[in-house]
Amino acid sequence: MADLITLRVTRYRPENDTEPTTQDYEIPLRKEWAVLDGLNHIKDHLDGTLSYRWSCRMGICGSCGMTVNGEPRLTCATFLEDCAPGPIRVEPLRNFPVIRDLVVEIGDFMRKLPQVKPWVIREEEASIDSEYLQTPAELDQYKQFSMCINCMLCYSACPVYALDKDFLGPAAIALAQRYNLDSRDQGSAERMDVLSAAEGIWSCTFVGECTTACPKGVDPAGAIQRYKFTAAMESLKAFLLPRGTR
């Protein structure tokens, strides 16, 4: 095995550059190193001007998402050895404005997230001495959708979001489903109007790239299709049943 591997990194400095460029860096090829380790080596030893996001290095924070060899990936979980012999192309996540180098602007996602009210909503709170008990089966109903780490890889992979920035997006809808399916939550009706709007679930064409890109197995595409059925049934009930009987 070679001792070195090349990272071909996208560089963009808006104060100087009109278009992004690429820059090659030779780094040590070590079995235990992920792409993020390679970027940290560049930052610490080769080029301190390189900009990117990272935090936990454990696939929990979701902040180190980038495009690696054309695919949205967590760079802390993408190993150099698996990408050998290289060069390894490292670019910012697609479908987001680039602030600098590999750093993207995530304001659109952060503004959309609270629209789906991703928290437990109760019509009336229990007393301070009581608990909201839940069985293992009830937990299993939503557990998969609770694994989202807001890494936004699904937004980078989504062809609908690439064309229509009004689309609510895979992660936001999956997180809404996480609470809709929670036995302790009573807020599904409050989320219905947002999720059922034209820019909500009905914009999704079920390509499935969001689920493929998800590093935590959340299956946003499945969450969206499941909610489409729920929304269709609610519409049918509203049409067929008299007001007050639903």
Assigned domain for 182 exists: yes
CATH number at residue 190: 1.10.1060.10
Q: Are residues 59 and 119 in the same domain?
A: no
Which amino acid, one-letter code, is at 16? N
| 63 and 119 co-located in one domain | no
**Strands 98-100 and 71-74, sheet pairing:** unpaired
Residue 246 lies in a domain: no
33 lies in the same domain as 154:
no
Q: Mark which of 82, 104, 126 sits at the end of a domain.
A: 104
* 95 and 111 assigned to the same domain: no
Coil vs helix vs strand at 76: helix
163 and 64 both lie in a single domain: no
Same domain, 41 and 56: yes
**What is the C-alpha to C-alpha distance for residues 62 and 40, in angstroms, rounded to an integer?**
17
Residues 83, 134 within the same domain:
no
Whether residues 88 and 115 share a domain: the answer is no
d(CA 48, CA 52): 11
The boundaries of the domain holding residue 197 are: 107-240
| 89 and 187 in a common domain | no
Domain count, the chain: 2
For residues 152 and 41, membership in a common domain is answered with no
Residues contacting 96, CB < 8 A, separation 6+:
104, 105, 106, 108, 152, 155, 156
Measure the CA dihedral 229/232/233/235, to 10°.
160
For every one of its 246 residues, what pLDDT tens digit does the chain have, with 9 covering 90 and above? 569 999 999 999 988 878 999 999 999 999 999 999 999 999 999 999 999 999 999 999 999 999 999 999 999 999 999 998 989 999 999 999 999 999 999 999 999 999 999 999 998 776 677 788 899 999 999 999 999 999 999 999 999 999 999 999 999 999 999 999 999 999 999 999 999 999 999 999 989 999 999 999 999 999 999 999 988 887 777 667 766 555
Instruction: Specify the CATH number for the domain of residue 24.
Output: 3.10.20.30
Pair 53, 144 in one domain:
no
Q: For tokens 């969206």, what's the residue?
A: 224
Q: How does pLDDT run across 142-199, given as a tens digit for each residue? A: 999 999 999 999 999 999 999 999 999 999 999 999 999 999 999 999 999 999 999 9
**Residue 49 sits in the same domain as residue 130:** no
